[in-house]
Amino acid sequence: MSTMPSRQPKRKDAIRTRAALLAAATECFARQGYEATNIRAVCAKAGANLGAVSHYFGNKERLYREALVLAHRELVAREPVPQMGAGDSPRRALRNWVRYLLRIFLLRRAAHPYAGRLIAWELRDPTPALDDLIAEVLGPVRQALNQIVAAALGDADEPELRARCANFVHGICVFHDQNRELLQRFGHPVPDREEELVVLADTIVEFAMAGIKRLRTQPSATSPRRRKTTRSRPSRG
């Protein structure tokens, strides 16, 4: 009785080859950026033939997309994105969210061998992969912030004001990630330990909540529309 040869070894080889290509490409993209990375060099580094990228990923663009998205998914997926839960106060929810994002930016991405450089290249010269990164990884994180800010604004909540408040909170977190050297030279290095991160996060939250409270009491003052002014008529004398 004849037996069919097992396909398991070939399948394992394919998985290994694909993983080797992705690892090699991630390193090359992080070091050189998308444009300067050569597929021939990626295949050589992975020990694969030149047609392997086309076979496993389709093309260079799809390979890059997977490298960028996977690196950041690894950072985000280590713990659930904090949400505005039933019974939560906006302050507590915002504190949880800011701590979560700072852990990603200041601790995890700093420790990741390639994620920081990948996003730096991408933001310097954006590709369509940035849209995929937002849709699959960063978008849900931002949506959670939007919901928290909406709850903090209460009756004053409306889309434009909500977006500007969320941009402010998000922007402060990003600032500490992208300006490490500047802050170091100012004498205020960014945290590299959890206990220091908590102090920074709580400061950001108190600052943000005070601003949101102010906007809640005077929402009309935040309108970007130009107010109509009435000029006083000269007196007739």
Q: Please, what are the domains in the chain?
A: 14-58 (1.10.10), 72-219 (1.10.357.10)
Distance CA 82, CA 141 (A): 8
Query: Tell me, what's the pLDDT at 95?
Result: 98
Q: What tens digit of pLDDT does each residue of 62-104 get?
A: 999 999 999 999 999 889 999 998 889 999 999 999 999 999 9
Enter the pTM of the model: 0.84
Query: Tell me, what's the pLDDT at 233?
Result: 44
Q: Could you say which residues of the chain have pLDDT below 70?
A: 1-9, 219-237
Query: Tell me, what's the pLDDT at 218?
Result: 79
Instruction: Give Cα separations from 130 to 12, 23, 32, 133 (angstroms).
Output: 31, 19, 17, 5
